[in-house]
């Protein structure tokens, strides 16, 4: 009987053009989703959530806070996930930081219901993260940790993301009113559902 490995399809390796396209599209999706959150006064989980909270409390720009708060996580990315992952992640974080700062100049929402912002924003961020993760990149922080635990321990990146994001959203109780917290939870669930269903060990063979 032939071994199981003989029946597996060949691994489809990404080219530099594939990676560049994923980085651009993924970060645009993430930045648009985060812009919708910011417009509605919501937060999300992870480093982005922490940047939102600090931004709401201090008035500092989200893009700057997001870039700075991610700096400590590059060591883990370099040591555990390799130089290629770290470089692509640095580029992705820089692009999201720039895109979110430029967004108010090119995108406006005359009418955006907070529920729509939570659900659609979460879906956009989720698909953006999915594109980045499948090309061995992330937007830092919790995503780096989730990717590391999936590769080293076999834990679902989506489930790790959901647990940590829940903690971040609960911390927002000290900054935001309860209604916005509930909508933010809805956004986190929308985002995490995309990752849980589409990004788990053995689901995707591209490298």
Q: Is residue 9 part of a domain?
A: no
Residue showing tokens 């692009």: 95
Question: Which domain range does residue 187 map to?
Answer: 15-198
Report residue 183's pLDDT band, with 50, 70 and 90 as the boundaries. very high
Q: Is residue 19 part of a domain?
A: yes
Q: How many CB atoms lie within 10 A of CB 203?
A: 10
What does the pLDDT look like over 107-165, one tens digit per residue? Answer: 888 889 999 999 999 999 999 989 998 888 888 777 677 777 887 888 887 788 778 77
What does the pLDDT look like over 31-81, one tens digit per residue? Answer: 999 999 999 999 888 889 889 989 988 999 999 999 999 988 888 788 777
Question: Could you give the CA distance from residue 117 to residue 98 in angstroms, rounded to a whole number?
Answer: 21
- Total domains in the chain come to 1
Going by C-alpha positions, the residue among 54, 150, 63, 141 that lies closest to residue 105 is: 63
Q: Is residue 205 part of a domain?
A: no
């Amino acid at each position: 009987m032939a071994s199981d490995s003989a029946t597996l399809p060949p691994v489809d390796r990404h080219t530099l053009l594939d990676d560049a396209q994923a980085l651009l599209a993924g970060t645009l999706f993430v930045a648009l989703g985060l812009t919708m959150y910011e417009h509605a006064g919501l937060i999300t989980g992870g480093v982005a959530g922490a940047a939102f909270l600090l931004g709401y409390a201090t008035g500092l720009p989200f893009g700057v806070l997001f870039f700075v708060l991610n700096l400590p996580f590059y060591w883990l990315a370099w040591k555990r996930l390799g130089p290629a992952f770290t470089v692509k992640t640095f580029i992705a974080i820089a692009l999201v930081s720039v895109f979110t700062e430029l967004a108010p100049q090119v995108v406006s929402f005359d009418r955006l219901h907070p529920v729509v912002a939570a659900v659609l924003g979460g879906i956009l961020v989720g698909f953006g993260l999915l594109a980045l993760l499948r090309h061995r990149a992330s937007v830092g922080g919790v995503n780096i940790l989730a990717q590391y635990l999936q590769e080293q321990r076999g834990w679902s990146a989506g489930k790790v993301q959901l647990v940590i994001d829940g903690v971040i959203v609960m911390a927002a109780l000290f900054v935001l009113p309860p209604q916005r917290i509930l909508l933010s939870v809805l956004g986190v669930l929308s985002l995490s559902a995309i990752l849980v269903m589409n990004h788990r060990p053995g689901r995707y063979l591209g490298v």
